[in-house]
Amino acid sequence: MNKFTITVPASSANIGPGFDSAGLAVNKYLTLSVEYSNVWEFEHQSVHLPANPDPAKHLIYQAAKETADTFRAPLPPCKVVVESEIPLARGLGSSASAIVAGIELANQLCQLSLTDQEKLKQATMMEGHPDNVAAALLGGLVIASPLASGEIGVFKKADPQVELVVSIPEFELKTEDARKVLPEQFSRNDAVAASAVGNIVFAALVSGNYELAGKMMEEDLFHEPYRASLIPNYREIRNEAKSAGAYATVISGAGPTMISLVPKGKGSLVSASLQKRFPTYNVELLKIDPYGLRVNLDLSSRLAR
C-alpha cells in the first residue's frame, strides 16, 4: 500500500500594496500523511486544529473532491493525518495551504499529473484570489494575476534576502470581516496612486533594494489604511520594529498578524524587541520558504506492496 506525505508552507499575502496578488511563502508548515483506506478519515495532530473533524466538511477533502470532479476522476478514500504549525484566521494563509494540500491530494490519489498552472488555476478558483495559494504552491515571493484567458500570470523570486518577524496576536480576525471594511471602488486618481506605490515596492523587492521597498511598503493605499483600526497596536508594532532595525512592517494578509521585513542578521534583535514590548503576542522569527508545495513518496511502502 502506498503512503505519501504532502507538505505546504504558510504564506503572508499582500506585502503592503500587493493586495490580492502578492504573497510570500514562510517556513511554517501544513503536513498531510496519507495512506489508502476503505473510508475517508482525518486525524488532527495540532493545537491549531479541532478534534474529531468531519471528513465531508473538511476543507482539504473538499478541495480534493472539487479537483477530482474538475478532472472527471473518481477520488479513492484515504486516511489523512494532518499536522499543522499554521494558526487559523491570523493572516498566515491557513485555508490557502489546506486548499493547495487538497488539490495535491487529488493529484496524487487520482494520478492526474497536474501542472503548476493547473493547480494554481484550481486553487485560485477555490480561494477567490491567487496571492496566498500561489505562494504556498510555488514558494518564495510570488506575484500572480488571473488573465482574461483563464490562465494565471505568475512571477516568482525564490530568495529575497530578508528575514521575517511575525507578531501574532491571540485573537482571530476572519478574512470576510477584514474585507468588509474595504472600499468597493477607487477613483482613477486613487487607483493610480495606489498602484504606483505597488509598482515601486515590487520592482525594489525584486532588484534587492530593500530600503526602498520597505519605505514604500508602509505607504499602501489599497487596504492598510482601512484595516489599521481592526488591528490593535498597529502603529506601535510598526514603530517598535522600525526602531529595532526593520525595513518595514505591514499587515500579513487580512490580519491580525503583522509581518516585518528585516535585514539579514537583524531578525533576532527585532523579534526580541517586539516580544518584550508586546508580551501577549507570539512573536516569531521566520524565513522565506523558497520551494512551496512538496510531495514525499514513501518508497519503502511502495516496495513492500
Cell (9 digits) for 11: 504564506
* Contact call for residue 254 and ligand HSE (CB under 6 A): yes
Task: Give the footprint of ligand HSE on residues 225-244 (CB under 6 A).
Answer: none
- The smaller minimum CB distance to ligand HSE, of residues 20 and 104, is found at 20
**Binding piece for ligand HSE, criterion CB under 6 A, among 31-39, 127-135, 162-170, 197-205:** 127-135
Cell (9 digits) for 243: 526602531
Name the minimum Å distance from CB 52 to ligand HSE. Answer: 27
Q: Kindly provide the residue ranges of all beta strands, DSSP E only, lying in 15-151, ordered along the sequence.
A: 18-36, 41-44, 78-84, 141-146
Tell me which of 4, 9, 16, 19 binds ligand HSE, using CB under 6 A: 19
Name the minimum Å distance from CB 300 to ligand HSE. Answer: 38
Are 85 and 8 in contact, with CB atoms under 8 Å apart?
A: no
Cell (9 digits) for 146: 488571473
- The smaller minimum CB distance to ligand HSE, of residues 21 and 273, is found at 21
For the CA atoms of 94, 166, 137, 149, what is the dihedral angle to 10 degrees? 90
* Contact call for residue 87 and ligand HSE (CB under 6 A): no
Tell me which of 129, 157, 242, 294 binds ligand HSE, using CB under 6 A: 129
Name the minimum Å distance from CB 74 to ligand HSE. Answer: 31
Tell me which of 84, 175, 233, 249 binds ligand HSE, using CB under 6 A: 175
Cell (9 digits) for 71: 478532472
Give the separation between CA 199 and CA 193, rounded to whole angstroms. Answer: 10
Name the minimum Å distance from CB 187 to ligand HSE. Answer: 21
- The smaller minimum CB distance to ligand HSE, of residues 249 and 271, is found at 249
Tell me which of 48, 65, 157, 179 binds ligand HSE, using CB under 6 A: 179
85: left (phi over 0), alpha (psi -120 to 50) or beta: alpha
- The smaller minimum CB distance to ligand HSE, of residues 3 and 223, is found at 223
What's the full length of the chain, in residues? Answer: 305
Q: What is the per-residue DSSP string for 77-90?
A: -EEEEEEE---TTS
Cβ-based neighbour number of residue 257 at 10 Å: 24
Give the separation between CA 293 and CA 305, rounded to whole angstroms. Answer: 26
Core vs surface per residue 267-297: b (16+ CB within 10 A) or e? bebbbebbbebbeebebbbbebbbebbeeee
- The smaller minimum CB distance to ligand HSE, of residues 93 and 140, is found at 93
**Binding piece for ligand HSE, criterion CB under 6 A, among 50-58, 124-132, 210-218, 238-246:** 124-132
| Placement of cell 494578509 in the chain | 253
Name the minimum Å distance from CB 222 to ligand HSE. Answer: 9
Closest CA to 205 of 26, 18, 21: 18
* Contact call for residue 253 and ligand HSE (CB under 6 A): yes
Q: Where along the sequence are the contacts to ligand HSE (CB under 6 A)?
A: 13-14, 19-20, 129, 131-132, 175, 178-179, 223, 253-254
